[in-house]
Amino acid sequence: MGHRPRKRFGQHFLTDAAVIERIVRSLSPRPGQHLVEIGPGRGALTRHLIRTCACLDVIELDRDLIPELERLGESWDGLRIHQGDALGFDLRTLGREGAPLRLVGNLPYNISTPLMFHLLKFPGLIGDMHFMLQKEVVQRMAARAGDSAYGRLSVMIQYRCRVEELFQILPQAFTPPPQVDSALVRLTPHAILPHVARDEANFASLVRQAFSLRRKTLRNALKGMADPGFIAAAGIDPGSRPETLSVEEYVRLSNLLSATPK
């Protein structure tokens, strides 16, 4: 009997061969590149990746799937298998001669947002990321200021990365089918940040507080952190709502806060 997908791990195994081929084409791996697959599951995508790159690390939480992945590596010594939780995995342990990591994976929907924030901790290590995610999550990542989907995730991802929604994936491509549509997204970390926050912890706190009260105006959402006069001094209307500010405006306000004596 094959492995039964586990609900507690959010397992929906990709099984559609046409979708797998399209993902590989989008990724376009090259010999000599270092790939990292998060959540390989039963190895449907892994089987294609090991034919195209010099080395592949896979990170899988479910111990029962490890033997099946190990069988894939019996005839190819470029595969390294890591049993563990990607949410706590230190990508710095995977470095090989400074080659940038190219991340790919079918991410469990229940951890996709916290995992994104974890991966943002390693911007200098990552060349790009190609992830299958819930369609609405991808739309939030790619949303622009003023869009209904624009929020904390949009700002924090776009601060670090260029975001491209590549194509949508129907539930029938997975076993068992999820109850939502999916999409493949490409995230490319900026080689040089377009807008640099002097204090990134302060920037993250500002964005978090603003969107915790996204229906309020900035003067109310940022109460206790930035008064209306301070917001205006940054060239921003205190009567604006959090979802109307661009990434650059959040960085500008954060930098003014960081430069002001406490």
User: End-to-end distance of the chain based on CA atoms, in angstroms?
Assistant: 63
Query: CB 49: neighbour CB atoms within 10 A?
Result: 25
pLDDT of residue 11: 66
pLDDT at 53 over 60: yes
Shared-domain flag, residues 211 and 249: yes
Among residues 166, 189, 212, the one where a domain terminates is 189
Shared-domain flag, residues 15 and 118: yes
pLDDT of residue 1: 40
61 lies in a domain?
yes
- CATH code of the domain containing 248: 1.10.8.100
- Whole-Å CA distances, 44 to 20, 37, 105: 8, 11, 11
pLDDT at 85 over 90: yes
pLDDT at 7 over 90: no
Shared-domain flag, residues 185 and 105: yes
Distance CA 31, CA 232 (A): 52
Angle, vertex CA 70, rays to CA 95 and CA 60, nearest 5: 60
Q: Is the dihedral of CA 151, 154, 157, 158 positive or negative?
A: negative
Shared-domain flag, residues 42 and 123: yes
CA–chain centroid gap for 32, Å, is 24
- CATH code of the domain containing 71: 3.40.50.150
The residue-averaged pLDDT of 186-205 equals 96
Helices 152-160 and 135-142 cross at an angle (nearest 10°) of 70
1 lies in a domain?
no
Shared-domain flag, residues 226 and 177: no
- Supply the range of the domain harboring residue 183: 7-189
Q: Is the dihedral of CA 98, 102, 107, 109 positive or negative?
A: positive
Tokens 């586990």 sit on residue = 6
Q: 51 or 129: which carries more pLDDT confidence?
A: 129
Burial class (CB in 10 A: 0-12, 13-18, 19+), 188: middle
Query: Is-contact 24 89, C-beta < 8 A?
Result: no
Among residues 189, 213, 246, the one where a domain terminates is 189
pLDDT at 172 over 70: yes
Shared-domain flag, residues 184 and 204: no
Q: How many domains does the structure of the chain reveal?
A: 2
pLDDT at 119 over 60: yes
| Percentage of residues of the chain with pLDDT beyond 90 | 74
Shared-domain flag, residues 165 and 204: no
Q: 203 or 111: which carries more pLDDT confidence?
A: 203
Shared-domain flag, residues 106 and 210: no
Query: Is-contact 44 20, C-beta < 8 A?
Result: yes
The residue-averaged pLDDT of 232-254 equals 96
